[in-house]
Amino acid sequence: MALNPFVFLTFLNVVTCASASHMPQRLTLQLLRQPRSQEWDSRSLRSVEHLKLKYGGSRDIKGRASGINLLGNSQLDSDYYGSIAVGTPPVSYNVILDTGSSDLWLLSSSCTQGCADSNGNLLPSLDTSSSASFKNISSAFQVPYGTGMAYGSLGQDTVQMAGFQVAEQNFGVVTSQEGVLPSSLSGLMGLAWEGLSTSQSTPLWQNLASSRAWTDPVMTFQLTRFGNATGNVKPLEPGGQFTMGFINKSMYTGQIDHQNMQTSPAPLYWTLSVTNLTVQGESISLATTEQTAAIDTGTTLVAGPADAVSQIYANIPGSQPCTYSQCTQGQYTYPCSTAVQVTISFGGPAWAISPADFLFEPIQDTSGQCIANIGAIIVSPLSLGSNPPAWIIGDTFLKNVYSVFRYDPPSVGFAALSTAALAMNGIDASPPSATMGIPLAIVTATSSSSDMSQRNGSSNDNLRHKKSLLVLLLSAFLSWFVLFEYRP
Ligand SMILES: *[C@@H]1O[C@H](CO)[C@@H](O)[C@H](O)[C@H]1NC(C)=O
Ligand SMILES: *[C@@H]1O[C@H](CO)[C@@H](O)[C@H](O)[C@H]1NC(C)=O
Ligand SMILES: *[C@@H]1O[C@H](CO)[C@@H](O)[C@H](O)[C@H]1NC(C)=O
Ligand SMILES: *[C@@H]1O[C@H](CO)[C@@H](O)[C@H](O)[C@H]1NC(C)=O
Ligand SMILES: *[C@@H]1O[C@H](CO)[C@@H](O)[C@H](O)[C@H]1NC(C)=O
């Protein structure tokens, strides 16, 4: 299994505390992500009322709705993607769904750099001139990527997802990017909170939630596992299920353990506190400053503070910091013969990461060592907010639970996967294809750059946004990237 040229750059959704002394330090850890193809499907909408909601409109909407978006799983659990439709008439695209960032962006048809996948095939892109409702906001848009940036301009158009439609939704129209999006994907949908948006735009999900378009103020994920599947596994497989506005009871068993987030200051990431972490049954002690965790569907791995992660490996005999060329600083190897059981509690039950998800891949030599999917953050990259996340809890963990991201009150909840959900793991099938539904709930975006001057952002807010952009630019050079391998 030679190191494959398939490389995908992780969207850099974290911000570095870039003090001068940190600057020279390079890259921490490879966040493993893979692209998935996605589709959406609005058939689950329960109500047929068409809603026309305006910002500041009725708080007592009768016809709330819910929708479902079938996901794709790309490159053995590296990325999970869903589909959206943009413009008039609507055209559908597959985008990575990322609860660790807050901007939506799509490749432009006038893309000049980074417009193809690793095989040289052009990725599906957005032709803004063919949409009657597209509006150019004429401000620059920049997305930090692992090894570079995506550049473009900010635009506005109608965006549909899971049967919901948001008019005047801001998003980046990207003309140049360094990095490679996986085949069939066209961009990324940020599903974290508005304060984290580098374009200062309200994310689509938050436009819907704040307009009370949802029956329940929640988004949920069920993510499939193909990493240990045997038999025929293709680069794109079914990825599970994303819902907006409802919790699908057939996807979990037992109780959902909702853990409320801190609401002051306003949330940026979806964050929880790691209150207990065990490895092979032994608890790791975590300093109180090392407990905050961003719950991030857009990151493949679990990554945490170096000292905490070294404690994890201290409980795994034969493990060591990885010195193989395919590793970056922060990664570890351990004996492939060891089934490693890690559990994490966020104030409630202990949730297990299966040994199958702990394992990334074997080293191809006689050492019997395997690269692990939990690594150390060498340069702290998460800095926004008063209690910035010390951990990134990505798909390595999230494949093991049903996850619920609640708008009001803000919380993240987990539940055990149902037999029906587990039965979707490793079953080779066609990934969902992007389909167009009839939007049953329609909302107008609550804010945009063009009315930014009227927004009640304090100057502190503006400062923070500017600072975050600057820091994002800086941190782009710290190269959070993801390398992965496609194993046929
Ligand atoms: C819940 O998930 C199941 C299994 O995928 C699916 O058949 C069902 O339609 C979903 N429920 C709703 C209301 O969409
Ligand atoms: C938006 O306008 C700017 C110039 O104001 C231009 O550079 C950019 O290409 C336009 N973007 C799109 C998507 O039309
Ligand atoms: C951590 O979890 C383990 C396993 O559930 C439990 O035995 C231990 O008492 C917990 N430790 C703390 C500090 O809560
Ligand atoms: C993959 O890992 C899961 C979780 O540990 C396990 O339940 C499943 O049986 C494994 N599948 C195969 C094919 O080994
Ligand atoms: C925004 O600020 C203005 C001036 O300070 C104030 O009059 C107005 O009520 C504020 N609006 C909101 C929605 O907070």
Tokens 């539940």, residue located? 415
Is 296 designated active site? yes
224 lines ligand 4 (CB under 6 A): no
Enter the DSSP assignment of 367: S
Would you call 98 a catalytic residue per the annotation? yes
Kindly state the greatest CA–CA separation across the chain. Answer: 66
Q: Which residue is closest in CA terms to ligand 2's atom 6?
A: 138
Q: Is 287 exposed, middle or buried (0-12, 13-18, 19+ CB in 10 A)?
A: exposed
Q: Give yes or no for a contact between 42 and 439, defined as CB atoms under 8 angstroms apart.
A: yes
Predicted confidence pLDDT, tens digits, the chain (488 residues):
222 222 222 333 332 222 222 222 222 233 333 222 222 222 222 222 222 222 222 233 456 889 999 999 999 999 999 999 999 999 999 999 999 989 999 999 999 988 888 888 899 999 999 999 999 998 899 876 544 577 899 999 999 999 899 999 999 999 988 765 787 899 999 999 999 998 999 999 999 999 999 999 999 999 999 999 988 899 999 999 999 999 999 999 999 999 999 888 899 999 999 999 999 999 999 999 899 999 999 989 999 999 999 999 999 999 999 999 989 889 999 999 999 999 999 999 999 999 999 999 999 999 999 999 999 987 655 555 566 789 999 999 999 999 999 999 999 999 999 999 999 999 999 998 766 666 767 888 864 333 333 333 333 333 233 323 323 322 322 223 222 222 22
Between CA 412 and CA 352 the distance in angstroms is 16
Identify the active-site residue in 41, 77, 79, 98.
Answer: 98
Asked, as a colleague might, if the bond just before 409 is cis with ω within 30 of 0, I would say: yes
Q: Ligand 4 in contact with 340 (CB < 6 A)?
A: no
Residue 309 parent element (H or E): helix 306-314
Tokens of 145: 């990527």
326 lines ligand 3 (CB under 6 A): no
The atom of ligand 1 lying closest to the CA of 251 is 2
pLDDT for 265 equals 87
- The contacts of residue 26 (CB under 8 Å, 6+ apart) are 329, 379, 478, 479
225 alpha carbon, closest ligand: 4
Please name the residue whose Cα sits nearest to atom 8 of ligand 3: 283
Compute the distance from residue 455 Cα to the ligand 5 centre, in Å.
8
**CA distances, 102 to each of 10, 176, 329, 469 (Å):** 14, 20, 27, 13
Alpha carbon of 359 to ligand 5 centroid (Å): 52
Q: Is the CB of 341 under 6 A from ligand 4?
A: no
Q: Which ligand does the CA of 418 lie closest to?
A: 1
* The ligand 4 atom nearest the CA atom of 230: 13
What is residue 435's predicted lDDT score, i.e. its pLDDT?
Answer: 63
Q: Which atom of ligand 3 is nearest to the CA of 275?
A: 14
Mapping DSSP to helix (H, G, I), strand (E, B) and coil, where does residue 306 land? helix
> Which residue, by CA, sits nearest to atom 1 of ligand 3?
276
What's the gap in Å between 420 CA and the centre of ligand 1?
Answer: 10
| Other beta carbons less than 10 A from residue 148's beta carbon | 20
Q: What is the pTM of this model?
A: 0.81
Domains of the chain with CATH codes: 249-422 (2.40.70.10)
Rounded to the nearest angstrom, the distance between the alpha carbon of 169 and the centre of ligand 2 is 16
Q: Which of 69, 243, 250, 422 to mutate to test the pocket of ligand 1 (most atoms within 8 A of CB)?
A: 250
pLDDT on residue 87: 96
Cα 418 to averaged position of ligand 1 atoms, centre (Å) = 12
Q: Residue 252 Cα, ligand 3 centroid: separation in angstroms?
A: 24
The predicted pLDDT at position 469 comes to 32
The verdict on whether omega for the bond into residue 5 sits within 30 degrees of 0, i.e. cis, is no
Cβ atoms of 16 and 405 closer than 8 Å: no
Cα 185 to the center of its chain, rounded Å: 14
The ligand placed nearest to the CA atom of residue 274 is 3
